[in-house]
Amino acid sequence: MPIYHTLGTIPHKRHTQFRKPDGTLYAEELVSTEGFSSLYSLVYHAYPPTIVKELGEPYSVEPKIAREKHLKHTSLIGFNIKPEDDYLKSRKPVLVNADLHISLAAPRKSMTDYFYKNSQADEVIFIHEGTGTLKTGFGKIKFEYGDYLVIPRGTIYQLEFDTPDNRLFIVESFSPIRSPKRYRNAYGQLMEHSPYCERDIKRPTDLETIDQTGDFKILIKKQGLIYPYTYGTHPFDFIGWDGFHYPWAFSIHDFEPITGRVHQPPPVHQTFEGNNFVICSFVPRKFDYHPLSIPAPYNHSNVDSDEVLYYVDGDFMSRKSVVKGQITLHPGGIPHGPAPGSVEKSIGKEFTDELAVMIDPFRPLMLTEDAIQIEDESYYKSWVI
Ligand SMILES: [Fe+2]
């Protein structure tokens, strides 16, 4: 996130001697992105972050593709994904392409006996149900319903859940997750017309240095494989850090909707972007106020992008019989629109309490075996009068 942040203790000058009370040196680490060309942080560890003791056998978590090519309006009943005790096992990729993987997860237990690092993708974890704490070396972020946790690649983390009832909607982005460029000024600050600002960004707090040596299992994801590493030092041994590269969170409930006299196009809902896709938030808002306005969306042909909606809560005016956790995928190439009857029914309505996350990828999504198992096969006929 392009806001400078610092926690813990750091030396006055970078790349200079920074010593422990016993006179030995702390270990400096530069965490940089896009080589040395983009956001970075400088981290000071109690021990070098390089002490590898053992390497386990890697295993695949690559999505198994069931439908590579398709041209069918598709719906998945997301809450039919079965809960699993283990966090990593609970993550079920459902819609994937070369730019992003979308997964659903219902983990029951906190991560206690291992740490996880995604070395190739930024992760956006939308908390649909559950509360808890994201724990990292950079500090902690408490999370609750509606939070987007944004965890940049390379961040070692654990999720601690308060209860076993958790539902997560996860995006792995193979490019950095950013705020929309049109909302940032030349200095990176979010501008007045942005639907959220820096004040809404939750940054890590409560840095707690865990100065421990021993055996620490870190599961590292790279190229679809999980590599089990055993390190000799606790990964949360940060004495301090500063910079622009760190995990952060933003609540969908803090997204200020942009409304107008007539129906506003989807980009007003845009919240984040990666290469070749955008993430949007549909939040409770007043409807259009032109005397002849039609609040329901128009039919549209997203000629060159797919469109994924993840229904979170509220009453979805453009669709009937939508359930929480449902996903619709409207592929580029064919038009889609409001369900029969919902256009007329929307006229005169002044407010919607819908809450949803939308992802528009510009390259087609493939469906996985996990997706096929939770598919509502009749969805493509839902416009038949
Ligand atoms: Fe749409």
What is the rounded CA–CA span in Å between residue 306 and residue 101?
14
CB 134 within 8 A of CB 111: no
Nearest to 67 by CA among 336, 309, 377: 377
Ligand 1 centroid – CA 249 distance (Å): 26
Nearest to 79 by CA among 242, 318, 311: 311
User: In the predicted model, is pLDDT for residue 373 greater than 90?
Assistant: yes
What is the rounded CA–CA span in Å between residue 84 and residue 69?
30
* Active-site hit among 12, 101, 245, 263: 263
Q: What is the pLDDT of residue 153?
A: 96
Q: Tens digits of per-residue pLDDT, 330-346?
A: 999 999 999 898 899 99
Nearest to 337 by CA among 373, 371, 307: 307
Give Cα 5 to chain centroid, integer Å: 21
Nearest to 170 by CA among 121, 235, 205, 124: 124
Ligand 1 centroid – CA 307 distance (Å): 6
Ligand 1 centroid – CA 367 distance (Å): 19
* CA distances for 178 relative to 188, 217, 257, 302, 358, angstroms: 11, 30, 19, 23, 16
Average pLDDT over every residue of 51-76: 98
Binding residues for Fe cation: 300, 306, 336
Average pLDDT over every residue of 17-38: 95
Active-site annotation holds for 193:
no
What is the rounded CA–CA span in Å between residue 288 and residue 86?
45
Q: Tens digits of per-residue pLDDT, 91-118?
A: 999 999 999 999 999 999 999 999 999 9
Q: Tens digits of per-residue pLDDT, 235-272?
A: 999 999 999 999 999 999 999 999 999 999 999 999 99
* 0.95 exceeded by pTM: yes
Residue at 49: amino acid letter: P
Q: What domains lie within the chain, and their CATH numbers?
A: 253-381 (2.60.120.10)
